[in-house]
Structure 1
Amino acid sequence: MALDETARQHLLAQPLTPILAIERPGHPPIAVPVWHQYSPGGDAWILVGDDSEKARLLREAGSATLVVQEVQPRTHYASAACEVVEEHPATDAERRELAERYLPGAAVEQYLEVAAEFGPEVVFLLRPVAWRAADLTMS
């Protein structure tokens, strides 16, 4: 059964690890897990290495898809086809926001110390323009 707009946006806003899929001309799309942030009705954002393949492909394609799924208590998913609307250098506050979203309290500082060695990172703002979402649970 299809999920309504409220349900699909709520699902994408959860601290689930989405799969980011980006077109790769001449090859299958790249599809990798990423950390993200999203508030219903707004733009999603992700943080990636400035010189990573993900960053290069996002710049070239100008679009990507984020897919989240949850299997408990019900099996459902939301897939948002997005256009890239902005790119900017990542801030320490953005790194911390994502770390706090996905990691337990004690691991945040340790992660941020390691992340300081990653090199330059950028944030991509992704605006959902089309959705696919369904509840696959058999009742």
Structure 2
Amino acid sequence: MPHHERERFLAEPRIGVLGVTDSRGDRAPLLVPVWYHYEPGGEVVVQTGRETVKARLLGAAGRFSLCAQDENRPYRYVSVEGPITSVTDPVDPALRESMAHRYLDPEEARAYLAATADQLKDDITVHMRPQHWRTANFAAFAADFAGDGQFRTDG
């Protein structure tokens, strides 16, 4: 994916899968679905409970990965990885509200924010600067298939 396309893709409201090294012995990385915020050229922002396993692992690792995908054909994904640049404790209420409205319709967002108001004092915001990008857009690959399921080649 070209630079502008991958940034635009990541900025769209998608559920991300956060990955962080799990240092608790012989374990694979922790992978969890998350809401996130991103604006082209900026940082990836996620929120989580201060006392969660995820928060502890993020603090220990000092970096994380995030993968966002489009499950509709042609499949596409963007994965970013980089260092944590800052942690805001507690969360900024305006950012929390913005993220709720990013993922929910206005009525659902209001209800969600009211029902989870205590998280304003329990959550932290983690900022990550994308350092490494991995992307794929299978549109060109999919175009090589004919409607009859046969793979086309040039020449």
For the criterion TM > 0.5, the same-fold answer is yes
Q: Which letter does structure 1 place at the counterpart of 2:38?
A: Y
User: For the Cα contact (< 8 Å) 1:83–1:127, is it kept in 2?
Assistant: yes
Q: For CA contacts below 8 A with separation 6 or more, give which structure has more relative contact order.
A: 1
Task: Find the aligned partners of 1:66 and 1:7 in 2 and give their Cα distance.
Answer: 17
Equivalent in the alignment of 2:131: 129
Percent identity for Structure 1 against Structure 2: 29
Equivalent in the alignment of 2:56: 56
Task: Find the aligned partners of 1:110 and 1:5 in 2 and give their Cα distance.
Answer: 37
Task: Find the aligned partners of 1:29 and 1:126 in 2 and give their Cα distance.
Answer: 17
Structure number having the greater strand percentage: 1
1:32-83 superposed Cα distances (whole Å, 9 cap, x missing partner) = 1111110111111011101111111110000110100013353110000121
TM-score, normalisation: structure 2: 0.84
Task: Find the aligned partners of 1:53 and 1:6 in 2 and give their Cα distance.
Answer: 34
SS at 1:37 equivalent: coil
Task: Give the ranges of 4+ consecutive aligned residues of structure 1 lying more than 4 Å apart after TM superposition.
Answer: none
TM-score, normalisation: structure 1: 0.93
SS at 1:95 equivalent: helix
Alignment coverage as a number of residue pairs: 137
* Consecutive unaligned residues in structure 1, runs of 5 or more: none
